[in-house]
Chain A
Amino acid sequence: MEYQIQARPAFSYLDVNLNPGEQIVAESGAMAWMEGPIATKTSTRGGVMGGLKRKLLSGESFFQNTYTAEGGAGTVTLAPGAAGDLVATELHGALNMQKGAYLASTTGVKCDSKWSGFKGFFNEGLFILRVEGDGMLFFGSYGAIEEVQVDGTFVVDNGFAVAWDPTLDFRLTKARKIRSFLFSDQILCEYSGTGRLWIQTRTAHQLASAVYPYRPVDSD
């Protein structure tokens, strides 16, 4: 299997070249275009209940698709929904990432949304996915992506952290002096320890707030 992240740094997409018999698993809806004898299988990866729970808790799609090159080589091009960049990383162990950031992985990688370490931690429905296994992992950002080597402490506004090594601890904190009781937006996250932290330069929450007045209104 070969892959190439194209069109960096904005609106990046992923070309995956599969040799006969090879597979790639992707978030449903991520397939942009494909060429060659590719078979698509939609599965809930863990049974109906597992998939449903994963969707509700993590916001990750209920369905993941498995693409297999059958009888010949083929190419699958995957694109995330968010406008932004993509990261390819070799996973040997675990990584924590924001829901909605997951794009694709090889079959040895599993996604777990019920890891209790995060329960109720983040606000605004920001649930975290714990990804474990051995293989390639592809995730995306909303906005540009910056990788930070944390060694000590580092403060990030909630929502901007995309993925981080599980060796990092985190705690919520606030700006030191908030003189306005109206300003409840800024919840900061302090990461401590040693490990990699990927941050993005935009958040879904900002876009969700901006688009709110333009959504259809419930008419009773």
Chain B
Amino acid sequence: MGHLVVQLAPGEKFYSEGGAMSFLDPSVEIQPRLLGGFLKGIGRKLFGGESLFLSEYTATRAGKVGIAPGHLGAVEECDLKGNTIMLTSGSYLAHTKAVNLSVRFGGLRSFFSGEGVCLIECSGVGKVFFNTYGAMVCREVRGALTVDTGHVVAFEPTLDYTIGGMGGIKQTLFSGEGLVMKFRGNGKIWLQSRTVGALAGWLRPYCR
């Protein structure tokens, strides 16, 4: 099960989701930072749950910092090398200095579940770390793939997608699926084998 431990050299900086620090050597300083200036000053959380705030770590001397993902699952390291990757909100974990993050609204807000699809576009020369809830599945899309939105973690921007319900209104309302993203094109996609929404659905009958 993944979490991230980063060893920093003196002077090195690192960034993570705000509040994700689990442990720290005293030689590493931590400061709050705001993500991309988007919706500045409006609340702490975007719809979709991604915190606007980042933590910036600066090592005055060599030291380690532990970063905790929000969910149990895998942590993936992606070396961008000038490329771009789209992350869904909630899966962003951390990044190195030369990565640019910007928040994008990804599409249709569901009237029923209140979910939206909020994406974080990561580009630049550096590493971005993202996490899954559950097992991580990485595959190539060749043509088309339909994914329940809660299971989408990240994808390459060469993929197009549409967001919608599973079928007619009745299908959407009753089929249990919230929204699905229908991907088209060729590119890599990262999926997760669990969603917190489905966990809540499973737990609901046991709640008094």
Contacts and interface: CB of A to CB of B under 8 A. Distances in A.
A and B touch in the complex (CB under 8 A): yes
Majority-rule SS of B interface residues: mixed
Interface string B23-41: 0000000000000000000
Contacts, number: 118
Interface of B: 1, 72-73, 134-135, 137, 144-148, 151, 166-167, 170-171, 174-177, 191, 193-195, 198-203, 205-208
23 contacts: A6-B135, A6-B193, A7-B134, A7-B137, A7-B193, A10-B135, A11-B72, A11-B135, A13-B135, A29-B198, A30-B198, A33-B191, A35-B144, A42-B175, A63-B174, A63-B176, A81-B202, A81-B203, A82-B199, A99-B205, A204-B203, A204-B206, A208-B207
Contacts of B146: 33-35, 38
Contacts of A211: 203, 207
A208 B207 CA distance: 6
A28 B193 CA distance: 16
Given A32-B151, A65-B176, A124 B206 contact: yes
With a 10 A CB-CB cut-off, give which of B145, B198, B205 has the most chain A CB atoms.
Answer: B205
Contact of A125 (B171, B193, B201, B206): B206
A40 interface: yes
Contacts of A28: 174-177
A40 B174 contact: no
A208 B193 contact: no
B195 to A, nearest CB: 8
A139 interface: no
Contact of A11 (B194, B202, B207): B194
Given A29-B177, A34-B146, A42-B170, A215 B207 contact: yes
Interface string A182-205: 000000000000000000000011
Contacts of B194: 11, 79, 81, 83
B146 to A, nearest CB: 5
A61 interface: yes
B13 to A, nearest CB: 33
A215 B203 CA distance: 12
A174 to B, nearest CB: 22
Given A6-B135, A33-B148, A100-B206, A13 B193 contact: yes
Nearest to B173: A42
Contacts of A30: 176, 198
Given A6-B137, A35-B144, 16 more contacts: A6-B193, A10-B134, A11-B73, A13-B135, A13-B137, A28-B174, A29-B175, A31-B177, A33-B191, A63-B175, A79-B151, A79-B194, A83-B134, A207-B206, A211-B207, A212-B207
B147 A32 contact: yes
Nearest to A206: B206
Contacts of A212: 207
Contacts of A215: 207
A141 to B, nearest CB: 11
A81 B198 contact: yes
Contacts of A7: 134-135, 137, 193
B167 A79 contact: no
